């Protein structure tokens, strides 16, 4: 095993936010004890194969989110390359959404950001569904209020068409905006989305359901363990 891979494994082990026994169960006790997270979105059979118990099994190509070019609360351009090799926890929001659903989701994201604040593998993203109003000038004081530090917890905005295409066709989340009595209204699925370093969707979680939020916390840890195994196995 190359020295670089060994170093990455040591780093991942040191930042793995799970007790030692859980790490042992997930990683060291073999594949029979390790159940990877599912993949969401369309998939297709690849032309390549892998071997399993002496049989050639066709590989599967899972849905990957397309690249994007959005702007964060510091007016910095953010693309996938900014999150290279990172696990992403993402949700939708809008700064004028002064309701229970938005506030509950923001509080939950704040807890995750604090819990994994020193873990460089995990990043957090809030994507505005009101990009017309949510300019960087609006996002900065909002981020300050949430204690969302750019680079760790980015609040993103951008071109309205690009944002909605990425949400509806990339994340496969319903999000719509319409006018009602001259006021802009929003209808969207208030979910957290877990993305792996290959930009694949690994989970959806109701942002206002405590059981779902606990499941997300657990599955963040499982995804970290999966990434560790991939590095160890040279994948």
Convert the pLDDT of each residue in 156-187 to its tens digit. 999 999 999 999 999 999 999 988 888 888 99
pLDDT of residue 7: 53
pTM: 0.84
Locate the domains of the chain by residue range.
65-233
CATH code, 65-233: 3.40.30.10
| Residue spans of beta strands (DSSP E) within 2-159 | 43-52, 55-62, 70-71, 77-78, 87-93, 122-128, 153-156
pLDDT over 70 (residue 23): no
Asked if residues 153 and 127 have their Cβ atoms less than 8 Å apart, the reply is no
The torsion of the CA quartet 202, 93, 155, 74, rounded to 10 degrees, works out to 170
**Distance, CA of 228 to CA of 215 (rounded, Å):** 20
> Who's near 191: CB < 8 A, 6+ residues apart?
91, 92, 173, 204, 205, 206, 207
User: pLDDT-derived band of residue 17, with 50, 70 and 90 as boundaries?
Assistant: very low
DSSP letter assigned to residue 66: P
Q: Residue 99 has what pLDDT? A: 84
**95, pLDDT greater than 60:** yes
Pairing of strands 77-78, 70-71: antiparallel
Which helix (H) or strand (E) segment holds residue 155: the answer is: strand 153-156
């Amino acid at each position: 095993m190359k020295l670089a891979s060994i170093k990455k494994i040591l780093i991942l082990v040191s930042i793995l936010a799970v007790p030692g026994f859980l790490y042992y169960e997930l990683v060291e006790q073999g594949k029979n004890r390790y159940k990877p997270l599912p993949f969401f979105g369309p998939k297709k059979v690849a032309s390549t194969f892998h071997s399993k118990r002496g049989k050639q099994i066709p590989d599967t190509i899972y849905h990957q989110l397309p690249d994007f070019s959005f702007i964060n609360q510091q007016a910095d351009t953010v693309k996938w390359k900014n999150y290279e090799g990172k696990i992403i926890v993402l949700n939708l929001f809008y700064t004028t959404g002064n309701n229970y659903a938005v506030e509950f989701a923001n509080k939950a994201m704040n807890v995750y950001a604090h819990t994994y604040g020193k873990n460089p593998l995990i990043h957090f993203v809030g994507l505005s569904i009101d990009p017309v109003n949510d300019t960087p000038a609006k996002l900065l004081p909002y981020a300050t209020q949430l204690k969302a530090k750019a680079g760790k917890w980015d609040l993103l905005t951008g071109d309205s068409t690009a944002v909605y295409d990425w949400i509806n066709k990339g994340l496969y989340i319903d999000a719509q905006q319409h006018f009602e009595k001259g006021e802009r209204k929003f209808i969207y699925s208030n979910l957290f989305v877990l993305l792996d370093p290959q930009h694949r969707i690994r989970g959806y979680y109701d942002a206002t359901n405590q059981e779902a939020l606990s499941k997300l916390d657990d599955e963040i840890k499982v995804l970290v363990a999966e990434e560790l195994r991939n590095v160890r196995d040279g994948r």
